[in-house]
Structure 1
Amino acid sequence: MKGLALSLALLSSLAVAGPVLEFSASDPTWYTQNDTVMGGISSSRVRIEGGILKFTGQVRLENNGGFSGIRSNPGRFDLSGYSALRLRVKGDGKQYAFQLGTSTAGGVNYRAEFNTVAGQWTEVTIPLNTLRPTRFGRQLAGPALDRSKISFFGLMVGNGRAEGFALDVDWIRGE
């Protein structure tokens, strides 16, 4: 079985067990990134409880806001041996976006949306070739994702509605 080539020193909140990434509260390395970076007032929280990553908060539309997100701390991750990532999630029936980034400073993010079922654990498969390049939420024509140079993982919500949200992630598996 392939193992994800992750630098655990840089992303130490994830413990690798074969191809599965499980979350550990012993050294959290996830942080929030909300619309406050551009004047909005949405809020979110990320924590790890009982091995579950919990992303909760409130999206607000005032001041041209409208999104909340979380990211892993920057690192160097090689996903070139994988064609997809699978997430086990429990949501609130809302749509979320999964993101990978190859730069942490104003760079291009690659994202794909997925739906959740309120109150139910489901598995979501995200083929890496379906991730679309974006910058500041706007889709770009390119460049293609270089799977060998991933610098962060992220999740976000921004459905154009003012609303509370809650997403739990049990694990992320490379396929």
Structure 2
Amino acid sequence: MAAIMADTCLRLDDESVFDSHTQGFISILSKAIVMWKAGRSEHPAGPLPWPRIYMSRSIVDIGWIAPLYYTALKCRVHRIRLQAIRLIETTSYREGMWDSKIASCVARRVMEIEEGGFYNDLGPGDDFSLSSSPEIDDLSLPTSPQLDRICEVRIALSDGPTDPILIHYRQAQTAWEDSLIFTSGKDNA
């Protein structure tokens, strides 16, 4: 992730610079899949036994939320960004300042704004296994048009955990726009 950030940091309004980093995003995703598989085998689904249920759902180190969030926002290959979002959605905790629920909701909304109905007629298969890396066919679809890409995102958190979150975003050469998202499953606008 650091290599991608360093290579793209001087071209702030040109989101096409990220198109040449697909292999880097695949690398981030592949490492996250390995971590996801390891976590699932060590901690099978189900209620946490005592005393673990009283432990904080926040951890201090930065694990995978930040790299997957970055991948979901900056990679425009539909399969890669969707898999990054879906992996974040499988967790329910915080890594430092990163909250998995908020990160996944924001990333999903950014993807919806950018892609709109772009892939409706192209038919990408969104029913892939989370444990599989993208195939060559997954990378052959065109990316979203340059003018639809969001180049900057700001998030305003509300006071309560169920209150809506305001996404303030800007597409290249356009004014700032707002979008409300609800982490509780209501319709986002």
Common fold: TM-score over 0.5: no
Q: Which structure has greater strand proportion? A: 1
Higher helix share: 2
Larger radius of gyration: 2
Please report the TM-score for the alignment, with normalisation by the length of structure 2.
0.29
> What is the TM-score with the length of structure 1 in the denominator?
0.30
